Structure 1
Amino acid sequence: MGKCCKCNRRLLCMCLLPCMMTGHLLIYIMVSIFVTISYTPPKITIHYIAPGFSANSSALASHPIGPFWNLRLEDGALWNQLQHVWDRQHNPILRGNTTGVIRKPRAKLLTEIEDECLSDCRSHKCSVPRMHDLNSLPEQMRAFIRSMHCREYPLLINQPGMCRRNNGSFGLEAPMLLMAIKSQVGNFENRQAIRETWGRSGLVKGESNRKGELVYTVFLLGRQDSSTGPHPDLKNLLDLENQKYGDILQWDFRDTFFNLTLKDLLFWHWLQQYCPTAIFVFKGDDDVFVRTGALLDYLHKQWDEHNLWRAYTNETGMDLFVGDVINNAMPNREPSTKYYIPERFYKGIYPPYAGGGGVVYSGSLALRLKEVSERVRLFPIDDVYLGMCLHKLGLSPHHHPGFLTFDLPETDKGNPCAYRSVLLVHRRSPKEMLMLWRQLQNLPGPMKVARNVPFLQRFP
């Protein structure tokens, strides 16, 4: 009897044990579900705050300690500091987000190195930005710093219908090449020599006997006045020249070496408004010589390759920028030279740029350069500024050996056959242009067409 009771208790325990474990498991699951449902996570404002000091602005995050979004740009110089302000202003990561919606940055960010200026840029009454020991710098640098915030100047002479005139009679919709030549008011002889030789407007044939392509030439001028030195009054002569040829673009700013950058900037605005369909643009000085036929042959090959590539992709824009590329260049620190850039104004190396008097780029890239230039501070060396704008786009220029910006060897300068692989040579006087042009026209047989250079490659 006792043994039976013990067996029954064991059997009962064995039966109840699974039930108890299952019950505990059910209670644990129910408690977990209840805790999960009743838990409310803390509310987190999702936006990035860079480590650094406060700018006292509700529209922007705190100012970063270091320029982590552009590690190649050093601090400690005026241009670098001003560029950091714009980099921060246009960087979406650094914009404040107090309402969950990204705000647009303010049109003007006031800092220790930039004051708001409401005066006319042409009056030079406003000195923006402020800089210690400004008076110790050379006059051309002082003048540039005083007006480097000014980007808009009225047109004194315009050619609004240039890219629309005669296109119908030629049976062409847009110019293949628009040649924009930087000149000065008094350089009449240079402009005339260009018109009579390599810069003729109209239908121009390549050297490989292609059909003629539409080429237009414009000359980019500023204003000469007493502030740039004693000049004779040439306004009437310039008006007569423009009436005869209709190829002058002149803006109301002082035509100085450090203001050459303005010619690029203002030309891009003009291009967007009056000639946005130009396929290629040549930008050069009025003392270079260009083998225009060979250049057209080269551009034809690039255009044909681009159209083939476009047939297999959705890309419509063409990123072509070619010239004599200079890499790892340092600013000139010699005060006696016209290229002098003091360390107080700019620190660091220059980005890759094409210099020496002439470059070629696609019309679509010109419009992109115009847009990105609004986020790059003006720099007094125009070739370097172009490199800065390209760098901002994530592009770098391509070198072409046919751009001889430092000229041929002295023994070859007078030999026409030495120009067979040349696209551009710098420098040539008006008389030398005319003489070289005639010599090249009299050479037997077609000259060698310059070899291809690939499109711009994006860098990381």
Structure 2
Amino acid sequence: MQIRGSSHRLSSMGNNRSRIPALLISMFATFASIYVAGRLWQDAENRVYLIKELDRITGQGQSAISVDDTLKIIACREQHKKLDAIETELAGARQEGFVSKPLIETNGTYSMRRPLVVIGILTKFGRQKNRDAIRKAWMGSGASLKKIEEGKGIIVQFVIGRSENRGDNQDKDIDRENRLTNDFIILDNHVETNDAFPKKAKLFFAHAADKWDAEFYAKVNDDVYVNIDALGATLATHLDKPRVYMGCMKSGEVFSELNHKWYEPEWWKFGDKKSYFRHASGEMYVISQALAKFISINRSILRTYAHDDVSAGSWFIGLDVKHVDEAKFCCSSWSTGAICAGV
């Protein structure tokens, strides 16, 4: 009885040992099948593409696709993938406000695929003498104005709206002047009134951003003279800043007296009711493309106050904006290296 029991246990152990190798072999076969199937699936797309290329080549009279052609096709597909990735990164950079840099040549001109700056000179009815003086002093007209645009990448235009009495002599005079000079942005949806200057500044930036793909946009009054070369050289040093607001920065007093020249109807909104937040002086200031696009997109909800310079400064509060306090933009006097001068 003991011999028989021992034989039974030995037999069971032998059977168990024989099952283990079989199980391992089965598992290995399963994993091998999965691996082979995965590799076949991974290469399926390449095979389909190569078959299509083979059909194309044989259809052109060739009997087969060579090994060299196969390698070229695979390399080409890899390059396409890299190009797609680069284009995706570039689109993201553009959304963040990054722009391409112009090349500054030794003769002071700018070689670029887009304008360096669009200057809007905000003007009014009855100020043709001011405009003619600006054309003669620094802006130019006709061929000379075109030369500034093409050689320096600087576009200069007067900005004006329409009369309250649409189509009257004031409108006709501007249309007549524009036919002769072709240097106006006429805001047909803006009515020229004494208290609408801040709104006109907002509409200029929105219009200019929609029409021109420039690096910067500048607002200038029609009693300011601009040094074009100094402006171009200064702006070129700030091309690495995607969201820049540049000018002669100040705060200034908030005037709550109704009869004061600079009266601010909403004086109570400004902190201590004594001073404005930091903003660029209104004679001339510059913003980068990303900020101009921001104004264009949000033009219907951006608040305007009594003055255009304060209004512009308010639009950038809370944004990731680089404020550049540049003394060259202080137009009170024409000093060495100055960009502008009031007259």
Q: Do the two structures share a fold, i.e. TM-score over 0.5?
A: yes
Query: Are 2:135 and 1:222 aligned?
Result: no
Aligned to 1:189: 129
Instruction: Give, in whole Å, the separation in 1 of the partners of 2:267 and 2:244.
Output: 34
Contact 1:387–1:396 (CA under 8 A) maintained in structure 2: no
Aligned to 1:439: none
Paired amino acid for 2:175: D
Closer/same/farther in 2, CA of residues 395 and 336 from structure 1, 3 Å limit: same
Percent of pairs with identical residues: 23
Aligned to 1:420: 336
4+ runs deviating over 6 angstroms:
none
1:393 Cα offset (Å)? 1.6
Query: Are 2:236 and 1:296 aligned?
Result: no
1:245 Cα offset (Å)? 1.9
Query: Are 2:217 and 1:281 aligned?
Result: yes
Contact 1:325–1:354 (CA under 8 A) maintained in structure 2: yes
Aligned to 2:113: 173
Paired amino acid for 1:278: A
Instruction: Give, in whole Å, the separation in 1 of the partners of 2:203 and 2:253.
Output: 27
Aligned to 1:204: 148
Closer/same/farther in 2, CA of residues 269 and 402 from structure 1, 3 Å limit: closer
Q: Secondary structure at the match of 2:237?
A: helix
> If each structure's helix is expressed as a fraction of its own residues, which one has the higher value?
2
Instruction: Give, in whole Å, the separation in 1 of the partners of 2:158 and 2:318.
Output: 27
Aligned to 2:312: 386
Q: Secondary structure at the match of 1:185?
A: coil
In structure 1, runs of 5+ residues without a counterpart are 1-169, 206-210, 307-316, 409-417, 429-460
CA distances 1:405-442 after superposition (whole Å, capped 9, x unpaired): 3x23xxxxxxxxx632211122x1xxxxxxxxxxxxxx
Instruction: Give, in whole Å, the separation in 2 of the partners of 1:364 and 1:334.
Output: 37
Paired amino acid for 2:190: F
Instruction: Give, in whole Å, the separation in 2 of the partners of 1:301 and 1:286.
Output: 26
Closer/same/farther in 2, CA of residues 376 and 269 from structure 1, 3 Å limit: closer
Closer/same/farther in 2, CA of residues 334 and 248 from structure 1, 3 Å limit: same
For the aligned residue pairs, the C-alpha RMSD in angstroms reads 2.8
Instruction: Give, in whole Å, the separation in 1 of the partners of 2:196 and 2:157.
Output: 18
Aligned to 1:270: 207
Instruction: Give, in whole Å, the separation in 2 of the partners of 1:269 and 1:281.
Output: 10
1:382 Cα offset (Å)? 1.0
Paired amino acid for 2:310: V
Query: Are 2:256 and 1:333 aligned?
Result: yes
Q: What TM-score does the superposition give when structure 2 sets the normalisation length?
A: 0.58
Contact 1:354–1:383 (CA under 8 A) maintained in structure 2: yes
Aligned to 2:178: 242
Instruction: Give, in whole Å, the separation in 2 of the partners of 1:302 and 1:346.
Output: 33
Instruction: Give, in whole Å, the separation in 2 of the partners of 1:360 and 1:224.
Output: 27
Instruction: Give, in whole Å, the separation in 2 of the partners of 1:331 and 1:222.
Output: 28
Aligned to 1:362: 288
Contact 1:372–1:389 (CA under 8 A) maintained in structure 2: no
Contact 1:352–1:396 (CA under 8 A) maintained in structure 2: no
Number of aligned residues: 225
Candidates 303, 313, 323, aligned match of 1:397: 323
CA distances 1:99-137 after superposition (whole Å, capped 9, x unpaired): xxxxxxxxxxxxxxxxxxxxxxxxxxxxxxxxxxxxxxx
The structure with the largest alpha-carbon Rg is: 2
Contact 2:282–2:308 (CA under 8 A) maintained in structure 1: no
